[in-house]
Amino acid sequence: MFTGIVEELSAVKALRRSAAGARLTVSASIVLEGTALGDSICVNGVCLTVTEMTGSEFSADVAAETLKVTNLGALQPGHQVNLERALRMSSRIGGHLVTGHVDAVGRLRERRQEGNSWRILFDAPDAALRYLIKKGSVAVDGISLTVADLDAKGFSIAMIPHTAKLTTLGFKAAGDSVNLETDIIGKYVERLLATGTGKDVDLGFLREHGFA
Q: What per-residue confidence (pLDDT) applies to 88? A: 82
Amino acid found at 203: L
pTM score of the predicted model: 0.88
Domain map of the chain by residue range?
8-85, 104-188
Q: What per-residue confidence (pLDDT) applies to 93? A: 80
49 tagged catalytic:
yes
63 tagged catalytic:
yes
Q: What per-residue confidence (pLDDT) applies to 200? A: 67
Edge to edge, the sheet with strand 117-123 lists: 143-146, 137-140, 177-182, 104-114, 117-123, 154-159, 149-150
Q: What per-residue confidence (pLDDT) applies to 206? A: 73
Q: What per-residue confidence (pLDDT) applies to 26? A: 98
Spot the catalytic one: 3, 10, 40, 182. 40
124 tagged catalytic:
no
Q: What per-residue confidence (pLDDT) applies to 201? A: 64
Spot the catalytic one: 49, 51, 54, 195. 49
How far apart are alpha carbons 157 and 169 in whole angstroms? 11
Q: What per-residue confidence (pLDDT) applies to 195? A: 59
Spot the catalytic one: 42, 47, 60, 128. 47
Domains 8-85 and 104-188 share a fold: yes
Domain 8-85 top-level CATH class: mainly beta
Spot the catalytic one: 146, 162, 171, 194. 146
Q: What per-residue confidence (pLDDT) applies to 121? A: 98
146 tagged catalytic:
yes
40 tagged catalytic:
yes
How high is the mean pLDDT in each 10-residue block of the chain (212 residues)?
A: 95 95 97 96 98 96 96 97 91 87 97 95 96 96 97 97 96 97 89 66 74 67
Instruction: State the number of CA atoms in the 13 A half-sphere of 7 facing the CB.
Output: 16
Q: What are phi and psi of 203, to 5 degrees?
A: -60, -40
**In 194-205, which positions are buried (b, 16+ CB within 10 angstroms) versus exposed (e)?**
eeeeeeebeeeb
| CA dihedral for 41, 47, 51, 56, sign (positive or negative) | negative
Which CATH number does 104-188 carry? 2.40.30.20
